[in-house]
């Protein structure tokens, strides 16, 4: 959980597309923020919603950075919902209040790139639209591909059209059920291009392969869930974790995860998704070699071993020292 929650009020609920609604949150009067503004955010950021049902869910911010008087989310009523998106669609009402986290960003936009390509699949349009808004406002070179199964399932179309620019839409039902050709879209991009994609796992895999074929080195993805081939949360024969701030040493027993062990011993460790995809539990590593199992860190960040996601990652040796 977050140690510094913000209190928010639902000001607007709006139908955006089939199965998708947007939620506009504003600071709640008398909330922890004690102000009329929220903390600032950058394109690609997300926040956690602390749902009244007790669940914690992360959603990307879709509105323009700089609009710190509000946060806007786009949420799909996922047929495979584990109780998060379905609860929101069924129970959220204008005027209700809830706790949220401050924004976090592990899908950051390089605003200095000479050229950017953005690919959105379905509800993955939420962080991509935020990026597109920013790049258009800066006058940067950018092109966008927005894919959905059908046009009625594509949210925020009017907002994208209002922004103008180089946008390609691909609706599977209008193309004989065929998905978009990512290879064709990504081919021939100029050197130094940065490419971003958010969407279903199948699309992300195809996107990474197409970027490799196109020679695009600066590739950025954000997953809705852990990759199908992601390793399970790290468990081991047991090790000891030292918490540098308190000096405590805690034994992580064989078969247990690091986060579960910390929570069971009363340590207030921040966490959210429990799948290694949101970055809420990112913790600095002071000593030891983590066993990385997340879907957030890059290969370079994993090799550096400066941070780890404690919800799914563990220890390759017998000791870790964490900045907790």
pLDDT digits (tens, 9 = 90+) for 217-243: 999 999 876 666 667 888 778 999 999
User: Residue with structure tokens 């390609």?
Assistant: 168
Q: Tell me the average pLDDT across 176-202.
A: 95
Q: Is 25 helix (H, G, I), strand (E, B) or coil?
A: strand
Of 73, 70, 31, the closest CA to residue 49 belongs to 73
State the number of CA atoms in the 13 A half-sphere of 196 facing the CB. Answer: 29
In contact, 157 and 81? CB cutoff 8 Å: no
pLDDT digits (tens, 9 = 90+) for 68-119: 999 999 999 988 777 789 999 999 999 999 999 999 999 999 999 999 999 9
Tell me the C-alpha distance between 163 and 51, whole Å.
33
User: 3-state SS of the chain: helix, strand, coil percent to 5?
Assistant: 20, 30, 50
Name the residue among 188, 222, 218, 185 with its Cα closest to residue 204: 222
Residue whose structure tokens are 């009020």: 9
- Residues 11-53 have pLDDT tens digits of 999 999 999 999 999 999 865 444 689 999 999 999 999 999 8
Q: What is this structure's pTM?
A: 0.84
Give how far the C-alpha of residue 26 lies from the chain's centroid of Cα atoms, to the nearest Å: 21
């Amino acid at each position: 959980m977050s140690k510094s929650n913000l209190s928010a009020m639902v000001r607007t609920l709006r139908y955006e597309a089939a199965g998708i609604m947007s939620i506009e949150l504003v600071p709640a009067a008398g909330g922890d923020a004690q102000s009329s503004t929220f903390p600032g955010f950058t394109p690609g950021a997300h926040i956690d919603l602390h749902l009244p049902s007790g669940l914690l869910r992360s959603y990307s911010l879709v509105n323009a950075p700089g609009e710190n008087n509000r946060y806007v989310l786009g949420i799909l009523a996922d047929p495979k919902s584990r109780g998060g998106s379905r609860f929101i669609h069924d129970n959220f009402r204008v005027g209700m209040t809830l706790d949220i986290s401050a924004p976090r960003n592990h899908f950051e936009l390089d605003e200095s790139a000479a050229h950017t390509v953005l690919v959105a699949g379905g509800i993955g349009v939420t962080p991509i639209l935020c990026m597109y808004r920013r790049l258009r406002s800066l006058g940067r070179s950018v092109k966008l591909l927005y894919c959905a199964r059908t046009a009625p399932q594509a949210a925020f179309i009017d907002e994208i059209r209002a922004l103008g620019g180089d946008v390609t839409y691909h609706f599977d039902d209008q193309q004989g059920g065929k998905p978009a050709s990512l290879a064709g879209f990504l081919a021939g991009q100029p050197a130094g291009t940065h490419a971003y994609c958010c969407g279903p796992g199948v699309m992300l895999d195809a996107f990474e392969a197409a970027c490799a074929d196109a020679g695009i080195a600066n590739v950025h993805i954000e997953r809705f869930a852990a990759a199908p081939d992601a390793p399970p949360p790290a468990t081991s024969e047991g090790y000891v974790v030292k918490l540098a701030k308190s000096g405590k040493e805690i034994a992580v027993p064989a078969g247990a995860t690091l986060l579960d062990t910390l929570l069971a011993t009363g340590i207030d460790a921040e966490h959210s998704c429990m799948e290694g995809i949101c970055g809420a539990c990112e913790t600095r590593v002071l000593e030891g070699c983590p066993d990385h199992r997340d879907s957030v860190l890059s290969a370079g960040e994993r090799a550096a071993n400066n941070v780890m996601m404690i919800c799914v990652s563990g220890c390759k040796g017998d000791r870790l020292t964490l900045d907790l």
